[in-house]
Amino acid sequence: MLKLSAAPLLGFFLSLASCAGTGLRGAPYVIIDTKSGEGLEFEEFINRLDDADVIFLGEEHDNTTCHELQHWTTVALAKRREVTLSLEQFEVDVQGTLDAYLEGQITEAAFLSKSRPWNNYEEHYRPTVEWARENGRPVIAANIPRPLARKVSRGEGQTLSVQGNEHAPWQLNTDDPAYRARFAEAMGLHGDTEKEDLDDWFAAQCIKDERMAESIASSIKGTDLITPLVVHWCGRFHSDYRLGTVSRLSERRPDLNIITVSMKTSEELSLTLSQEASSSADFVWKIR
C-alpha cells in the first residue's frame, strides 16, 4: 500500500484538526478508508459516513485520542443529520435517569449517583453527554445491566433471555464460531481445558451484544419519515469484523446500512495496515 512521507502526514494532522474544529489534545492520527487504502481528511471521512443508518465507533476504552475522535465525529454528523447517541457505557435500567438529566429534571450529581458511570466517565464520556444535553440530542443507555451479565457469566444464561426480565434481550445466541474464537484468543485461552468457564464468559459477552443490538434496533422506527442516524460508541471488540453487536443488529434489522469504524495504535503513521486491521472495519483511526 501507499505510504505517506512526513510532510503529507503533518498536513493530514493539521487539516484534520482545523476541519473538525477540535483542538485535539491527544496523539497524532490518520484516518484510513480500508476499502481503498486512502488516507482521509476529516471532512471527507464525514462525507463517507453520511448515508449510514447506524455507525459503530469502536474504541479502546482508555485511549484519549480515540474518544476525542468519537466526540468530534458525532458532533460533525449532527450538523448534517438528526443524531441519536448510543452508549455501551450506560445500561438500559438507567435510561429513565439519563433521560431525566438530559431534560434538566435532575442535577448532574443525582444523575451520576444513580447511573453507575464508568470510572473514566468524566474524562472520556461526559463531554459528549453534555453536548447532547445542551443540544437536545437523545442518548441511548444501550447495555445490559451488569448484574444480569454477571448471572450469565456464572452459568445462569440459558433461560435468562426468555424469563420475561424487562432488561434482557429477546434471545441469546452463542452459536458464533468466529466470534467465539476471537473471544478465546482475547482471553488467552486455547483448547478445551477451560471450556465450561469459557462457555459462560462468552455467553456474558454475547448477551451484552444482544442487548445493545436490541437497544439500537428499537430506537429506529422503520416507518419514520426521517430516520435518525444512530452513532454507537463501544469497545471495538463488540464491532470489529462486523461480529458481536454488529452481527446481532444485522439479524434484527437487515435493512440497515451499518458502517463500522475501529482504531489501532501504532508508532508508525503510514497508510499501511495489516490484512487483519484492514478487514476489521470500514474505516480505521490509526493513532500514535
Residue-wise pLDDT for 2-23, tens only, equals 333 333 333 344 334 434 445 5
CB 237 within 8 A of CB 260: no
Report the distance separating Cα 172 and Cα 157, nearest Å: 8
Report the distance separating Cα 134 and Cα 103, nearest Å: 9
Antiparallel, parallel or unpaired: β 54-59 and 83-91: unpaired
CA angle 281, 72, 235 (to 5 degrees): 40
- pLDDT, position 27: 78
Q: How confident is the model at residue 164 (pLDDT cuts 50, 70, 90)?
A: low
Burial 60-85 (b: 16+ CB within 10 A, else e): bbebebbbbbbbbbbbbbbeebebbb
- The full set of domains in the chain, from first to last, is 6-287 (3.40.50.11550)
Antiparallel, parallel or unpaired: β 283-287 and 29-33: antiparallel
56 has which bridge partners? 232, 260
Task: Output the CA–CA distances (angstroms, integers) from residue 183 to 187, 203, 204, in the order listed.
Answer: 6, 11, 11
Residue-wise pLDDT for 178-205, tens only, equals 999 999 999 886 555 466 678 899 999 9
Sheet with strand 38-40: strands edge to edge: 38-40, 29-33, 283-287, 258-265, 54-59, 229-235, 83-91, 139-143
To the nearest 10 degrees (0 to 180), the angle between helices 42-49 and 64-78 is 60
pTM: 0.89
Residue carrying C-alpha cell 450469565? 152
Report the distance separating Cα 249 and Cα 212, nearest Å: 8
Share of the chain above pLDDT 70, in %: 84
Report the distance separating Cα 52 and Cα 102, nearest Å: 25
